[in-house]
Structure 1
């Protein structure tokens, strides 16, 4: 009687294993190809081949993130809708106390790509997040004939970025790029405003902005995971979209050096950096009704202490020399909008009248003057002669 009751129970327990859609090619020990890692902006997603793990003698409940086998939140979920079936895991990028499956997060200094846009920097920083998924250790006795599974993963996020070609006509933009190493670029945006309260986006009239109009620029990190501030290293304007060989440019500021008509109000202190400048025109547009300006910023995400270290270098009058142009690499990403239009400063109307109308008016004035002098002289002569004849006739009488 007991045997008959146990057989259905055994069948129920074995049903998930019997229903797996696994081909014979996965009857092997797990290898590197069984782990897929997606380094997202806020969440790292992992997939493990369930068939090879099952063939090794384990099921999904045996595997856990970073050794947290007693925490159900660190276990994976099975997806049998794909071939082969997989175990899904999600791990927040933010290494905080609220993350029950905490991973290792390390910030390292690295040498930049010598052919990239940050080649003039002595070093750039990256966040490296590492973790693992494993099975409980079989540590009974001295030896064991059963295998343990261990899947190690790593995600690298550079903290230096290039944002360029921001058109002031637009209010905001954010474009994400997909890279195997992961990127924070889709959390960054550049916007322009018409006032120091940064409440309303800048509206450019069809004829363009008047010269010397104050323009307020904000570079912001939104939904950024981790405790990083935004530090603008180099912001500049060009008359055309970003080009590697661009020679015409106007620097708003480079490191510690700031243009006289530019004011940096906030930089490296929070997730928002702000500066403002006066509208100008490029001389090469002197024959055009409007002058276009494209905005570009090289920025970095840095820990508050690192940002303060760089800002303190400015206070001690140590200035960093930056070269923003260079071949793009996977350490930089581009967000493009533009351009801003400023009106041409036309010649004053009085001068225009003098240039266009002076010859004809001068000729008429000279002609009138000559005629007036002739008639005036004739009238004077006639008056003198008339008086002389009248006086002569009087004496005769």
Structure 2
């Protein structure tokens, strides 16, 4: 009880501190308004910026404002910035499960029919992060003359692995997007392997792989919260390194897949595995080596709902966007894949049943037959 009284006394003394000069001469030294909060929905952090002078005008200060009433946790307080005009109170917290739960922010998964850039998706999942910055009244008595202050904020993220800037929405008045091409929560990687155990990286010689060589592909997310799995919507190849090209060949799109492509793991963990056989693009028929690149359209899915996002292959196929419409920042690309003209090592070795070999055998047989005829004739005359 004594500790609580000392804490309340400290808050009271801080609240009665002198009004800063920056606020006395500021046009924001007034009653608080909803528009006083500015929210930045970044891909790695959420930033809140609140005019601080209205807070002082209501007989509070930065030490009496915290996230979601978490006044006993130091990380849930903001920092006053008196270097800008007008001065503001800033909050910043990473977009990860630990940080969000520490200060009591809400973390909710929702889904809806895709719109805008995601109009071709029958269902798109979103992460809605919301909370409140609120004041604590240091008054020790039964009544107070201080008004309660609270600012509500939220950010809505589409569950694409890499975010499209136009898809962010926020409850504040002003929205700023930072980390334009940054990653959401995690990092993504694609590796090619030569074995079904995904242990030995694929080595591609300068002369290219043999046709029908099995290529094993692993797409993996790292530093990812356990709430999400990795889902590949589509994987396809192009002759150039850029995803958005008119000449492409699909390995799989929903239920449609290349006959030589096998999807082994997708949407059930934080990695995806599939394999396909090396091929050549017909447009490279006059080239010794055919080159192409592998692209996979990726997104995150909440672990309990991933199965509902996978295609149901019973004759009904979910719509998928064309390759030219896939945002480049939602696609991961492989290293260059080179394929030669030969097929297998056995087929590339010299054979002995050639035309020249047949001619040699025929010539030897003719010589033997001629020798036998001469021997018969010589015996007859003798």
TM-score (norm: length of structure 2): 0.70
1:292 counterpart = 2:291 = yes
Larger radius of gyration: 1
Change (3 A) 1:311 1:109: closer
Alignment of 1:173-212 (within 5 A): 178-179=179-180, 184=184, 187-212=187-212
- Residues 300-342 of structure 1 deviation map (CA, whole Å, 9 limit, x = unaligned): 311222112345834x665434234354569x63445542222
How many residue pairs align between the two structures? 341
Contact 2:30 2:53 in 1 (8 A): no
Q: Which residue of 2 aligns with 1:272?
A: 271
* Distance in 2 separating the partners of 1:349 and 1:48: 75
Alignment of structure 1 residues 74-89 onto 2, 5 Å: 74-80=76-82, 82-89=84-91
1:59 corresponds to: 61
- Output the CA distance in 1 between the equivalents of 2:122 and 2:288: 43
2:186, 2:224 within 8 Å by CA — same for their partners in 1? no
Whole-angstrom CA distance in 2 between matches of 1:126 and 1:12: 41
Task: Give CA deviations for 1:368-389 in whole Å, capped at 9, x if unaligned.
Answer: xxxx9xxxxxxx9xxx9xxxxx
Tell me whether 274-283 or 46-55 shows the greater mean CA deviation: 46-55
Structure 2: how far apart are the matches of 1:222 and 1:16? 49
Structure 1 residues 310 and 123, CA gap change in structure 2 (3 angstroms): closer
> Structure 1 350/224 Cα, relative in aligned 2: closer, same or farther at 3 Å?
closer
Aligned match of 1:109 in 108, 111, 127?
111
- In the alignment, the residues of structure 2 paired with residue 38 and residue 134 of structure 1 have an alpha-carbon distance, to the nearest angstrom, of 18
Listed one character per residue, the Cα deviations across residues 115-174 of structure 1 (whole Å, up to 9, x for unaligned) are x4x443212111111111011379999x986443222211111113589xxxxxxxxxxx
Inter-CA distance 16–327: structure 2 relative to 1 (3 Å threshold)? farther
- The alignment's TM-score, normalised by the length of structure 1, stands at 0.68
Aligned partner of 1:46 in structure 2 is 48
Hey, what's the Cα distance between the residues in 2 that align with 1:101 and 1:292? 51
> CA 1:281–1:23 in 2, change beyond 3 Å: closer, same or farther?
farther
Asked if 1:322 is matched to 2:316, the reply is no
Q: Secondary structure at the match of 1:298?
A: strand
Q: 1:348 to 1:340 in 2, by over 3 A?
A: closer
Q: Is the 8 A contact 1:158 1:183 kept in 2?
A: no
Distance 1:196 1:41, change over 3 A: farther
Distance in 2, Cα, partners of 1:245 & 1:221? 26
Show structure 1 runs of 5+ residues with no match: 1-9, 164-176, 367-371, 373-379, 385-397
In structure 2, stretches of 5+ residues that fail to align are: 1-11, 164-177, 368-373
RMSD: 4.6
